[in-house]
Amino acid sequence: MTEAERYDAVVIGSGEGGKYLAWHMAQAGQKVAVIERRWIGGSCPNINCLPSKNEIWSAGIAHAVAHAGEYGVATGPVSVDMKTVVERKRAMVKSLVTFHLERYEATGAELIMGNARLVAPSAVEIALNDGGTRLLVAEKLFLNLGTHATIPPVPGLAEAKPLTHIEALELDRLPAHLIVLGGGYVGLELAQAYQRFGSRVTIVDRGPRLLKREDEDVSEEVRRILEAEGIEVLLSAEVEKVEGRSGESVRATIRTPDGSRTIEGTDILVAAGRTPNTQGIGLEEAGIALTDRGTIKVNDRLETTARDVWAIGECAGSPQFTHASLDDFRIIRDNLDGGDRTTTGRLMPYCMFIDPPLARIGMSEAEAHASGIDMRVAKLPMKAVLRTRTTSQTSGFVKALVDPQDRIAGFAMIGSEAGEVMAVVQAAMLGRLPYSVLRDAILAHPTMAEGLNALFGTVAKR
């Protein structure tokens, strides 16, 4: 029988919030172990955020070179070497893994590679990747389990061995025709990237518009941008069946408002949502309850239904962003040190890295209407921001909501450097400053942030 080893804290999963919590506690002198199945540092540096943005950047370079003539720069024929694209991404991932291993060594947190399963309220059994088992007993347990890509129960889809974001970011060849199932962040980012690499791309989404959680004007502008680059977008389209095998030849039968049609492609990418990694690890053995969405049930301090057990990140139902998981870590860290922080009312920004990117924070216009709050809406086309005239990147618009107390309640931008401009607005929102502060601020010319002067200058006076 495996002898139990006692730890002050055990973290299952080495994602953003979990690893920072482990490093923090270990540096404070506690005995801490982190159990990870495969991805050292979690999904963000290995298979999600950073690798995707790495390849998206390569796609942007390809697009810029292909359009260099518009800027007076003469080039020859442009081609993309996907092997080099992937190798550049792999080199980045390798360096990030090395960084994480160095942090584990420097902090003293122990990294254990294997599959964890709860066998009692405070006991974790590990099937080690190198063979054998270990049994850890934890005074405090932290679950940082993450999520995985959902494969919808469409006849023939699983048998077609579709790509998820993981496989798509490892392709060292160029699909002739990529069919993308899903019109959310992952699907749209990768769709545009592969279109720019040289693939033909078709997006299929069951909803009436892309990005269903965004305002209609945002959805329509994103659609216009993608279609202008040659991407086919099919909306209100239900996939009835899939035949063939991704990477060779696939046929998707689609039901649309105009009738049934068949799309033939070489590859199919599923980007239709995420499923929490909460099954099969013995949560019930520790009295840890789940929500009806399959996430771990937590309170606003991220405490689970079991004593001395916390959940972090996507598996806890937190927004599916690395920066949300990082804030989960800060909440737990501060509360363990006697603080009183919660997830309630967090001002959560996010950015979709199509080109130009979409950034948003706070309330949307639709949410404001639904709440009945009397908001003033300010909107400005990006071509009104003089910086875009110098770069010819005039697509998109910027929009803000101002509440009855003259504070900024929401902000959305589709345009060059949207994420950086959003950070300026976020700072004003965090400080509860009136919109007039940005309206009247002296902002450097010509910058993208300078557009905030003009945007808030259009706010109607009370």
- Burial category of 106 from C-beta neighbours within 10 Å (exposed 0-12, middle 13-18, buried 19 and up): exposed
Helix intervals (H) in 72-215: 82-107, 165-168, 185-197
Say how far apart CA 145 and CA 278 lie, in whole Å. 7
Q: Tokens for 440? A: 């009247």
Say which of 24, 148, 369, 445 is annotated catalytic.
Answer: 445
Helix (H, G, I), strand (E, B) or coil at 60: helix
Taking each continuous run of H as one helix and of E as one strand, the counts in the chain are 13, 20
> Across the chain, which distance is largest between two alpha carbons, in Å?
75
φ and ψ at 100, to 5 degrees?
-65, -40
Q: Are 136 and 11 in contact (CB under 8 A)?
A: no
DSSP one-letter code for 3:
P
Active-site residue, 445 included = yes
Helix (H, G, I), strand (E, B) or coil at 303: strand
362 - beta bridge partners?
410
Looking only at the bridges linking them, the beta strands covering 309-311 and 376-381 are unpaired
Active site residues: 445
